[in-house]
Structures are given as structure tokens and as C-alpha cells.
């Protein structure tokens, strides 16, 4: 595992090294979904559901939904509240 991350050390030291877990969103993923997430937060796209917005930006609707739930909490709920209010 240490070789994968290009960490060189002796055997005694290797036992004490702790590798942190990856947390948060990858920068490449953030860039890929950035425009779609902004569209989900925008009133300009309120007439579309999340899957339709994903297709407009060349993304998968399920994955956009997962990104919104994991990294942008509240966006889906606010969208649905506004959509219900507007009819």
C-alpha cells in the first residue's frame, strides 16, 4: 500500500504509518458536476427535474442525484419545495 502512494520507509517505520481515508469530493468530480449542480440550484432550470438537468449536461441522472445528496445537502429538498410552490 505504501508503494502505491510512493512512500518509502523501512519495515519498522511502516507499521506506524497510518494512511488517511479519502474524504470529500475529488477535484475532477467537482469540476465535472459543477455546471449541473449550479443548474440544480438555479431558478432558470426549475422546470426540469434532476435527471433532465443531468442529461442536458451529459451526465447520468442517478450519479448527479448521488453527488447532490452526498456533497450538496439540501439542494434537492429546496428544489422540490420551490417546484411544489410554483405548481
Q: Tens digits of per-residue pLDDT, 21-52?
A: 666 788 888 999 999 999 999 999 999 999 99
pLDDT for 9 equals 75
Distance CA 69, CA 77 (A): 10
Burial of 51 (0-12, 13-18, 19+ CB in 10 A): middle
- pTM for the predicted model, two decimal places: 0.70
Distance CA 62, CA 50 (A): 9
Of residues 49 and 9, more confidently modeled: 49
Identify the residue whose cell numbers are 497510518. 18
pLDDT for 1 equals 61
Identify the residue whose cell numbers are 450519479. 63
Amino acid at each position: 500500500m505504501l508503494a502505491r502512494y510512493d512512500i518509502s520507509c523501512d519495515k519498522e517505520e511502516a507499521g506506524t504509518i497510518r494512511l488517511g481515508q479519502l474524504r470529500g469530493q475529488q477535484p475532477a468530480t467537482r469540476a465535472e458536476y459543477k455546471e449541473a449542480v449550479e443548474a440544480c440550484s438555479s431558478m432558470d432550470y426549475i422546470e426540469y427535474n434532476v435527471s433532465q438537468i443531468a442529461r442536458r449536461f451529459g451526465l447520468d441522472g442517478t450519479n448527479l442525484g448521488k453527488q447532490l445528496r452526498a456533497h450538496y445537502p439540501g439542494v434537492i429538498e429546496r428544489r422540490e419545495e420551490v417546484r411544489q410552490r410554483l405548481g
